[in-house]
């Protein structure tokens, strides 16, 4: 039983999440021959203020880059 735990920052639409689940499931079918009905994909959304990389929080990095605020 494959189990995929995907963590992303908040902001993906329901349609985008559905596409992710389909694509990850199909990849496991194609590559490993797994059954779709046995494949579980969990998407965890994390606030940008709770996610850090390159030594800073994602919301601070986005602000410094001039990226628009997400929501």
Catalytic residue set? 2
- Rg over alpha carbons for the chain, rounded to the nearest Å, is 15
Closest Cα to residue 64, out of 12, 54, 45? 54
Per-residue CA distances from 31 to 25, 35, 52, 59, 66 (Å): 10, 11, 32, 36, 39
């Amino acid at each position: 039983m494959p189990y995929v735990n995907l963590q992303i920052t908040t902001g993906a639409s329901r349609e985008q999440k559905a596409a992710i689940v389909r694509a990850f499931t199909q990849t496991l079918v194609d590559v490993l021959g797994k059954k779709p009905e046995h494949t579980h994909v969990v998407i965890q959304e994390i606030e940008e203020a709770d996610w850090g990389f390159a030594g800073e929080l994602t919301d601070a990095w986005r602000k410094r880059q001039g990226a628009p605020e997400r929501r």
